[in-house]
């Protein structure tokens, strides 16, 4: 019991003294997951818009598949990207395995389905009557799509925040693709996993508290956005 | 300006409009009246090219509308719609009203001037920075009208434009509709279930019944000379009787209705089956014998029911045939009418519209 209390005390010291390694791992985590979120947004929002505004065969089925992938296990996303980036894989020549870039790709793949799904929900939340208004005000198709997307911007942003939350908290893909290399691909979640198994409780608790704080910021941001 | 040729419209299995043909001339106010849920909205949506007819064709300025989406956008930009329940976009009233001009690529300076002008027309000066989604229903309706006017449309489509408004705003909007039509020659197509509004505003009225266009004509024709029982019922002609012409003396005919004979102006020869239509406001009621009536028709009867309707009173009289009269509340009080009282009902021969018995098929 005392060890745990000591762990918390030491963790507090690590954070308050701005321990360089703790800071470095936190910064890397944020950088990788934020980058993945931005890239995923750029891909997922237009895909969501395309699915929402176009009629095509298999639309219903496609949406069901996307919804299933909300719960895509992180290790499977990791495995998939690992295979693609490994030396025998189609993109092996890029040498991205065990690099932060590789981890960004992994997290991007992981959160795209969730963000496409959230975009679809956001767009279908725009009333049909509003879509009629847009068309009858003389919008071209692209003006209409842009206006509707703009109208649902807060709901879409909610999806983006959820995506970031999923990216920063996942451990499977980061571990498989990044390899948890100290000072290079080690992020909050992989560091916690490793340090805990090595008995370095104080360090784990410090990182865990930071991760929780980030999760809390994300939740508050989501709440504020949904208030809009 | 707008022409429908044998237009049918179905949504899936559900047939909404059937064989609709009509023409709206440039500069006229054409009003569709009909009960709620009879496809009036669909007609406006078809004109605005938001819907495609299932069959038949729609011409705008003699131009076919089955064209590319780009050309349809160009056609649509010549008109504006105010929906029955307008939707507001996030953001300010200014952003809402200016949207149509932004789509058209109007210069920002010009947009500012025209938004102010449109808000002035609907009496919402200074509302630019208000948040549109927080407005009351009546204010939003006026914002929607401003949003429609800002592009100076040639054709203005209004779906029940005053359904959500109080009487003062309604009058304001009705005056606005009339002045737009007068000042700018805007062609206006509107739908309403309010017969009186139809009468106040319309150059011509089209009655929608059972998915079809019934009678088309000016207010006098629609309100006094209905073509069928259904139209009569809708426009408030409550006395409708089938009968037989027994004699005709140079246009003054005697018509036998279930044993009661009335005199009416009509050209039908003796033996013709006819339908007589009399507006309830045309019936005069008297108690006792004082003050002889100059009207040709005078029938004795017993009041079966007295129902107040606003400033008026609806009196149902059983006189061998059921007659319905609408009189002012004051005359009802002066005559001291009550259910069971004996009255004599009189009406002029010229107050009766005589038509061929005709029923609009429900198919």
The DSSP bridge pattern shows strands B63-64 and B55-60 to be antiparallel
Classify residue A43: in a domain, yes or no. Answer: yes
Mean confidence (pLDDT) of chain B: 90
Q: With 70 as the cut, is the pLDDT of residue B359 above it?
A: no
Q: How many CB atoms lie within 10 A of CB B349?
A: 18
Q: How confident is the model at residue B360 (pLDDT cuts 50, 70, 90)?
A: very low
| Residue in A137, A157, A228 to test binding to B, most B beta-carbons within 10 Å | A137
The DSSP bridge pattern shows strands B187-192 and B29-33 to be parallel
Facing A129 at nearest CB: one of B85, B100, B151: B85
pLDDT tens for each residue of B286-328: 887 666 667 889 899 999 999 998 889 999 999 989 999 999 9
Classify residue A88: in a domain, yes or no. Answer: yes
Average of per-residue pLDDT across A104-110: 96
Classify residue A75: in a domain, yes or no. Answer: yes
Does residue A139 belong to the interface with chain B, where contact is any CB pair within 8 Å?
yes
Average of per-residue pLDDT across B57-82: 93
Mean confidence (pLDDT) of chain A: 92
Contact predicate B128/B98, CB 8 Å: no
Does residue A151 belong to the interface with chain B, where contact is any CB pair within 8 Å?
yes
Which residue is associated with the tokens 């930009």? B77
3-state DSSP assignment of residue B42: helix
Q: Which domains does chain B have, with CATH numbers?
A: 2-229 (3.40.50.300), 230-287+294-355 (2.40.50.100)
Contact predicate B275/B354, CB 8 Å: yes
A137–B103 CB contact, under 8 Å: yes
pLDDT at B239: 93
Which residue is associated with the tokens 């976009």? B89
Minimal Cα–Cα distance from B103 to chain A, Å?
A: 6
Does residue B11 belong to the interface with chain A, where contact is any CB pair within 8 Å?
no
Cα separation, A181 vs B238, in Å, equals: 90
Classify residue A143: in a domain, yes or no. Answer: yes
pLDDT tens for each residue of A57-73: 999 999 999 999 998 99
| Most confidently predicted of A32-36, A125-129, A214-218 | A32-36
B77–A138 CB contact, under 8 Å: yes
The CA-atom distances, in angstroms, between B34 and each of B18, B31, B230, B234, B235 are 15, 10, 10, 7, 9
Phi-psi region of B35 (alpha: psi -120 to 50; beta: other; left: phi over 0): beta
Q: With 50 as the cut, is the pLDDT of residue A5 above it?
A: yes
Domains in chain A, number: 1
Whole-prediction pTM value?
A: 0.80
pLDDT tens for each residue of B203-239: 999 999 888 998 999 988 998 899 888 889 888 899 9
pLDDT at B290: 63
Cα separation, A187 vs A173, in Å, equals: 11
Classify residue A160: in a domain, yes or no. Answer: yes
Minimal Cα–Cα distance from B161 to chain A, Å?
A: 15
Average of per-residue pLDDT across B138-152: 92
pLDDT tens for each residue of B245-286: 999 988 899 999 998 999 999 888 898 899 999 999 999 998
Q: With 80 as the cut, is the pLDDT of residue B86 above it?
A: yes
Does residue A138 belong to the interface with chain B, where contact is any CB pair within 8 Å?
yes
Q: Which domain holds residue A141?
A: 21-186
Minimal Cα–Cα distance from B52 to chain A, Å?
A: 14
Average of per-residue pLDDT across B24-41: 90
C-alpha neighbours within 13 Å on the C-beta side of residue B255: 30
Classify residue A211: in a domain, yes or no. Answer: no
B85–A137 CB contact, under 8 Å: no
pLDDT at B338: 87
Q: With 80 as the cut, is the pLDDT of residue A215 above it?
A: yes
Does residue A137 belong to the interface with chain B, where contact is any CB pair within 8 Å?
yes
A-B contacts (CB, under 8 Å): 49
Q: Which of B166, B159, B134, B131 is nearest to B145 (CA)?
A: B159
Does residue A125 belong to the interface with chain B, where contact is any CB pair within 8 Å?
no
A139–B48 CB contact, under 8 Å: no
Classify residue A194: in a domain, yes or no. Answer: no
- The complex scores an ipTM of 0.80
Q: With 90 as the cut, is the pLDDT of residue A12 above it?
A: no
Query: The CATH number of the domain where A43 resides is what?
Result: 1.10.3720.10
String of DSSP letters for A149-205: HHHTHHHHHHHHHHHHHHHHH--HHIIIIITT-TTTT--HHHHHHHHHHTT-HHHHH
Q: How confident is the model at residue A100 (pLDDT cuts 50, 70, 90)?
A: very high
Average of per-residue pLDDT across A178-190: 94
Q: Chain B contacts of A130, Cβ < 8 Å?
A: 87, 89
Q: With 50 as the cut, is the pLDDT of residue B362 above it?
A: no
Percent over 90 (pLDDT), chain A: 73
pLDDT tens for each residue of B170-211: 888 899 999 999 999 999 999 988 888 888 888 999 999 888
Does residue B104 belong to the interface with chain A, where contact is any CB pair within 8 Å?
yes
Q: With 70 as the cut, is the pLDDT of residue B363 above it?
A: no
pLDDT at A60: 93
Minimal Cα–Cα distance from A135 to chain B, Å?
A: 8
Classify residue A151: in a domain, yes or no. Answer: yes
Does residue B133 belong to the interface with chain A, where contact is any CB pair within 8 Å?
no
């Amino acid at each position: 019991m005392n060890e745990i209390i000591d762990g918390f005390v030491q963790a507090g010291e690590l954070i308050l003294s701005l321990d360089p390694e703790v800071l470095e791992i936190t910064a890397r985590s944020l950088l990788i997951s934020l980058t993945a979120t931005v890239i995923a947004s750029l891909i997922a929002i237009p895909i969501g818009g395309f699915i929402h505004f176009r009629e095509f065969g298999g639309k219903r089925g496609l949406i069901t598949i996307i919804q299933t992938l909300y719960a895509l296990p992180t290790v499977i996303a990791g495995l998939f990207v690992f295979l693609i980036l490994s030396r025998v894989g189609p993109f092996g020549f890029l040498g991205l395995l065990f690099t932060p870039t590789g981890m960004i790709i992994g997290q991007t793949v992981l959160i795209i389905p969730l963000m496409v799904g959230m975009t679809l929900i956001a767009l279908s939340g725009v009333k049909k009557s509003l879509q009629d208004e847009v068309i009858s005000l003389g919008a071209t198709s692209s003006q209409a799509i842009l206006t509707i997307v703009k109208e649902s911007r807060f709901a879409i942003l909610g999806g983006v925040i959820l995506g970031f939350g999923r990216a920063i908290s996942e451990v499977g893909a980061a571990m498989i693709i990044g390899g948890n290399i100290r000072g290079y691909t080690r992020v909050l979640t992989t560091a916690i996993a490793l340090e805990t198994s090595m008995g370095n409780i104080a360090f784990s608790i410090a990182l865990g508290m930071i991760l929780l704080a980030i999760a809390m910021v994300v939740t508050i941001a989501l709440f504020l956005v949904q208030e809009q | 300006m707008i022409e429908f040729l044998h237009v049918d419209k179905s949504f899936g299995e559900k047939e909404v409009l059937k064989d609709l043909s009509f023409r709206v001339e440039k500069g006229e106010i054409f009003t569709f009246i009909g009960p709620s849920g009879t496809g009036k909205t669909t007609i406006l949506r078809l004109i605005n090219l938001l819907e495609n007819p299932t069959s038949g064709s729609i011409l705008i300025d003699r131009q076919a509308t089955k064209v590319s989406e780009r050309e349809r956008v160009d056609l649509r930009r010549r008109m504006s719609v105010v929906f029955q329940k307008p939707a507001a976009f996030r953001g300010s009233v200014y952003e809402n009203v200016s949207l149509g001009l932004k789509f058209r690529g109007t210069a920002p300076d010009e947009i500012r001037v025209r938004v102010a002008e449109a808000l002035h027309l609907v009496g919402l000066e200074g509302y630019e920075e208000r948040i549109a989604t927080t407005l009351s229903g009546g204010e939003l309706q006026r914002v929607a009208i401003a949003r429609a006017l800002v592009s100076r449309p040639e054709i203005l489509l209004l779906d029940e434009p005053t359904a959500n408004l109080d009487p003062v705003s309604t009058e304001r909007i009705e005056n606005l509709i009339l002045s737009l039509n007068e000042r700018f020659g805007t062609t206006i197509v509107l739908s309403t279930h309010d017969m009186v509004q139809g009468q106040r505003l319309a150059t011509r009225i089209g009655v929608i019944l059972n998915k079809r266009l019934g009678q088309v004509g000016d207010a006098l024709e629609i309100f006094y000379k209905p073509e069928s029982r259904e139209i009569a019922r809708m426009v408030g002609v409550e006395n409708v009787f089938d009968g037989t012409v027994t004699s005709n003396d140079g246009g003054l005919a005697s018509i036998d209705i279930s044993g009661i004979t009335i005199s009416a102006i009509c050209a039908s020869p003796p033996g013709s089956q006819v339908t007589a239509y009399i507006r309830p406001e045309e019936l005069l009621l008297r108690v006792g014998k004082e003050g002889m009536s100059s009207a040709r028709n005078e029938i004795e009867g017993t009041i079966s029911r007295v129902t107040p309707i606003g400033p008026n009173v609806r009196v149902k009289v059983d006189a061998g045939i059921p007659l319905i009269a609408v009189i002012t509340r004051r005359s009802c009080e002066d005559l001291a009418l009550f259910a069971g009282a004996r009255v004599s009902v009189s009406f002029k021969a010229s107050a009766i519209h005589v038509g061929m018995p005709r029923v609009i098929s429900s198919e």
